[in-house]
Structure 1
């Protein structure tokens, strides 16, 4: 779970908002 959130933040920082949103959705789904 934490890994997906970290990945999402990294993708936001690298200008990949679509991928970041997908990662956050995945993290929420795993909760």
Structure 2
């Protein structure tokens, strides 16, 4: 149960990083 929560948290962090990178990339393209 705790281990699953760690995996879930790691995936959420990765998604947040991907979104941030996409926003930075789109800002740089403008």
TM-score by length of 1: 0.51
TM-score by length of 2: 0.52
Unpaired stretches in structure 2, ≥5 consecutive residues: 22-30
Greater RCO (CA < 8 Å, at least 6 residues apart): 1
1:22 alignment partner in structure 2: 12
Point out the structure with max Rg over C-alpha.
Answer: 2
Aligned residues: 17
* CA distance, structure 2, for counterparts of residue 17 and residue 27 of structure 1: 15
Q: Which has the higher helix share?
A: 2
